[in-house]
Amino acid sequence: MKAAEIRELSVEDLKSKIAEETKALSTLNLNHAVSPIENPQVIKITRRLVARLKTVLNEKSQA
């Protein structure tokens, strides 16, 4: 998801997307700890997506 797409989402959509992606990230981390996942870059991509979502949410709450 690109930053432009994220900025189009409403505040409620952002909150639900953050919750969804955070859950996915914790699942990925747990699976990777148990046995290495095939593509560990997915963890990095998901972590950065959560950060982008939180940044846009913070920008919208400030405005």
Whether residue 42 has pLDDT greater than 80: yes
Helix intervals (H) in the chain: 3-7, 11-34, 41-62
pLDDT of 26 higher than 90: yes
Q: Domains, the chain, ranges and CATH?
A: 3-62 (1.10.287)
Confidence (pLDDT) at 59: 95
**Per-residue pLDDT at 1 exceeds 90:** no
Query: Over the range 49-61, which residues count as b (16 or more CB within 10 Å of their CB) and which as e?
Result: bbebbeebbeeee
Percent of the chain with pLDDT over 70: 100
